[in-house]
Structure 1
C-alpha cells in the first residue's frame, strides 16, 4: 500500500532532519574588484562546492591605472548593492544566514580593504555568525585545491604539502614553499615591482588600452603572425648591434654580485622600452615623432620580446633557486620531497607563462620524478571571493581560529607572518561543530 505524505508533513520531515553541511559567505575587495562568493562543504576532507560567485570591477583604463581613492569610492558605492542582489539570489538573510563569513584583511589598498572589512563586521553582528579575516595571498595559494570547472584531467588531485607556489599578480611576485596551511617560506621575492605591474606598464607604454593591460598585451602578441614570431625569437638582443631593430634587452641578475641572492626584478623592462623610445625618435623616425607611437613592426617586436623575456626571467630565477635549494649536495636541500608546483594569481592566466614553466623548469627530485603542475581555473586566477572563502574555511577548521571584530585591515602583511598579527581568536571543537554541522 502506497502512503502519500501530506504536503505539510513532507515539509516538516525535510526541515527537521539534521543539515549535514555548512555555507560560507566570502567577500574580497583588496584592489579594484568587488567580489562575493558562496561556498558549501559537506565533509572536512571534501573540496568545497562553489554555489555562486560574482565580481564587479572598477573601470580604470581612462585614468591610467588604479587610484586608491577612486577604488575606495567605487567599493563604497558598489558593495552594499552587490551584496543585496547576491543574498537575494542565494536566499541568504537574517532568517537563513550563512554559517561563517570570510573577508580579505590584507594585504592590499587600505581604503579598498576597509570598505569590505567593515561591511563584513556588520553582517557578522547582524547575523550572529563568526568571521575570519583572510590573507589575500593565502587565498591565491590555495586556489589550486579547487578542481578546474572544465577539462578536468583524469585522476586529478589537489597539491600535497609541501609544495611550491609561484604567486604572480599585479601586486606580488614570489616563489613560496608551503609546508602547511600556516607555515610558508619565501624562497624568491621581488626587489622592485611585481610582474603584473610590469606587464601593465609596458603595455601602456606601447599604447595598448584596456582595464587589464596584461591580458591585452598577451592578445596583441598572439595576433602577431607565426613566421614573424619565429624570426623575432631567432634574433640576438644582447647588444644593439646584433639585431636590425637596434634594441637591447637582457635578463636581470644574470651575473649577480652575490650568487646567493636570488630575486625577481621587473622594473628594467619598462625602462628599456622608455629608453628605446627616446633613441628611436632621435634616430629620425619622423612619422612616429608626429604621432607619438611606434610603427607596427617595432611595436610587435617590443611586445613580443618583453613578454618572452619577462617570463624567461621568472623561469631562470626559479631554476637557480631549485639548483641552490633542491638536491642534497647543494646547501640545505630544503626542497627535497617537493612534488607539486602551483602557479596562481592574475598573471597565471597567461598561457605562455604556463607553457614555459611546464617545459623549462629543470628540477627533478630523487628518481627523476617531474613536478606535478597545478594551474587554477582561468576564472579564479584574478582576484575573486571564492579563494577567500576557501582559505577562511581552512583557517577556521584546520587552525581553529576566527577573527575578533576589533581587527583592522593590514596594508602590508607578509605571508610568513600569517599568525603573528593581532586579533586571532581560538575556537574550540564545540564552536567548530556548531558552525560546520559535520
Structure 2
C-alpha cells in the first residue's frame, strides 16, 4: 500500500507473452531390408495432416528365380552389396548430405536376421552421425499403418495381413495394442501361392504375381465354365479334388482356436502331379481353382471370427461382442495386391455380424505398389510411434527374427522420449 492506496503493478491485467510451439515440416528417412528387397524412402510430415507425404523412394529386389526361392545368405549379401550405394545416391538426390533428415526409421523385425541387420546397422550409423532419433519398427505394423496414406481407419479396427511370411487377422485397438485372432498353423498364404505356382510350371521371381497374371489371362468364357466344375470330389473331367480346409465333419463350426492352414493346397497339387501331366486346359483349371480356394479359405475363417466375436447372434453361436465398434478393415501385405482377392473379400465378408450397415463399414486398401515390402510403410509407422508413444530405439538393439504384433512394446531397447525431444523434431 502506498499513501493509503493499493499499488497495482502495471502488468496486472495484461497478457503476458506465451511461448508458442509451431508445428513444422520435418523429414524422415526410412530403411527396410527384412527379406529380399533393399528399400529407402524419404517422407515429410506436414502440420495439420494425419499422414506424411512421400517425397521419394528407391527399391532393388534380389532375383531368386534361378534358385527356386530366397536363400538367406544370398539376400544378406545382396543387401550388403547394394544398399550402401543406394543410400549414397538417394542422399545426393534429395540433398540429405547438406540437410539431414530429422528422424531415422528402419525395420527391426520380424524377418531374416541377416537381411535385417544390414539396414539396422546402417540406420544406427546414420542416427549417430546426424545425432537424430532412431525408431526400430515392427514390419507388420508398417503393413497395417501404410493404409493411412490414402485413408484413416478408426480404432478399434481389424487388420488382415497376407504376405509371403505371415497370414493373420489382427484386432487393433490402438497403435500399441494388437491382438492376433487368427494365425497360420503351417505356412503363410504367400509361401503357399509361390510353391503351388511353381508346381504347375509357372516361372518368375514373383510367383504370386505370375499366378495372378496367368489366371487373369484365362478368357472370361472359360472362367465361367470352370466355375461350374466342382472340386468337392474327384468326380470331374480333370480328376482333381480341392476342398476348403477345416470345414469337414471332424472340425467344429466355431472352434476354440481359429487358424489358417495353407500346406494342404500344396500337398494336394504335389499328389496330383505324381499321377497326372498338365496340358493347357488342366493347368488353367488348377491355377484358377487353387487361387480362388486359397482366398476363399481366408475369407471363410475371417467370417468365422466375425461370427465368434461379433455382436449379432447366429444359429451357430452368440457372438461375444469383442468386435463391438469395429467399422474398418485394413487389408495389406504382398498378397493384398491381388485384385481378385480384393473383390472376393469385399463381396464375401459378412460384416453384418458386426451390427454394421453396409454403408457404415469401410475397407482400407493401400496402394498396390505399397502392399509388397517397402520403406514408406516403415516411415509411416515410425512417425506414429515417435509422435504418439514418445519412444525411440536404443543403439544396442539387435534384429528380431520373430516379433509378434501383440508384443510390440515388450521387447528390449525402447527409450522414453521427453516432450522437448519430440518438439525438437516436430516443432520449431
Give the TM-score normalised by the residue count of structure 2: 0.91
Correspondence for 1:117: 120
Residue 279 of structure 1, CA deviation: 2.1
Correspondence for 2:414: 424
Q: 2:47 aligns with which of 22, 43, 57?
A: 43
Q: 1:368 aligns with which of 357, 362, 367?
A: 357
Q: 2:372 aligns with which of 360, 378, 382?
A: 382
1:194-243 Cα shifts (integer Å, max 9, x gaps): 011011111111111111000100000111111111111111111112x1
1:397-421 Cα shifts (integer Å, max 9, x gaps): 1000000000000000001000000
Following TM superposition, where does structure 1 have runs of at least 4 consecutive aligned residues deviating by more than 4 angstroms? none
Q: 2:221 aligns with which of 192, 216, 227?
A: 227
Please give the secondary structure, in 2, of the residue aligned with 1:179. Answer: strand
Correspondence for 1:341: 329
Residue 44 of structure 1, CA deviation: 6.2
Correspondence for 1:254: 247
Correspondence for 1:9: none
Which stretch shifts more, 44-53 or 194-203? 44-53
Correspondence for 1:200: 194
Please give the secondary structure, in 1, of the residue aligned with 2:24. Answer: coil
Q: 1:145 aligns with which of 145, 148, 165?
A: 148
Residue 331 of structure 1, CA deviation: 4.3
Q: 1:84 aligns with which of 88, 93, 115?
A: 88
Q: Does 1:101 align with 2:137?
A: no
Q: 2:238 aligns with which of 239, 242, 245?
A: 245
Residue 363 of structure 1, CA deviation: 2.1
Distance in structure 2 (CA, Å) of the matches to 1:393 and 1:44 = 14
Distance in structure 2 (CA, Å) of the matches to 1:392 and 1:31 = 19
Contact 2:108 2:138 in 1 (8 A): yes
1:362-409 Cα shifts (integer Å, max 9, x gaps): 122335345201100011010000000010011111000000000000
Residue 343 of structure 1, CA deviation: 0.4
Correspondence for 2:273: 277
Count of aligned positions? 398
Contact 2:328 2:363 in 1 (8 A): yes
Distance in structure 1 (CA, Å) of the matches to 2:386 and 2:415 = 10
Q: Which consecutive unaligned segments of at least 5 residues does structure 2 have?
A: 1-21
Please give the secondary structure, in 2, of the residue aligned with 1:240. Answer: coil
Q: Does 1:359 align with 2:347?
A: yes
Q: 2:283 aligns with which of 299, 308, 315?
A: 299
Contact 1:328 1:336 in 2 (8 A): no
Residue 315 of structure 1, CA deviation: 0.8
Which stretch shifts more, 192-201 or 330-339? 330-339
Please give the secondary structure, in 1, of the residue aligned with 2:197. Answer: helix
Distance in structure 1 (CA, Å) of the matches to 2:356 and 2:426 = 42
Distance 1:106 1:355, change over 3 A: same
Q: Does 1:24 align with 2:28?
A: yes
Correspondence for 2:13: none
Q: Does 1:69 align with 2:73?
A: yes
Residue 261 of structure 1, CA deviation: 2.4
RMSD: 1.4
Q: Does 1:173 align with 2:167?
A: yes
Residue 426 of structure 1, CA deviation: 0.2
Q: 2:154 aligns with which of 157, 160, 165?
A: 160
Correspondence for 1:285: none
Contact 1:323 1:363 in 2 (8 A): no
Report the structure number with the largest CA radius of gyration. 2
Give the TM-score normalised by the residue count of structure 1: 0.89
Please give the secondary structure, in 1, of the residue aligned with 2:136. Answer: strand
Correspondence for 1:10: none
Distance in structure 1 (CA, Å) of the matches to 2:420 and 2:66 = 52
1:54-86 Cα shifts (integer Å, max 9, x gaps): 100001111101000000000000110000010
Q: Which consecutive unaligned segments of at least 5 residues does structure 1 have?
A: 1-17, 148-156, 281-287, 289-293
Please give the secondary structure, in 1, of the residue aligned with 2:257. Answer: coil
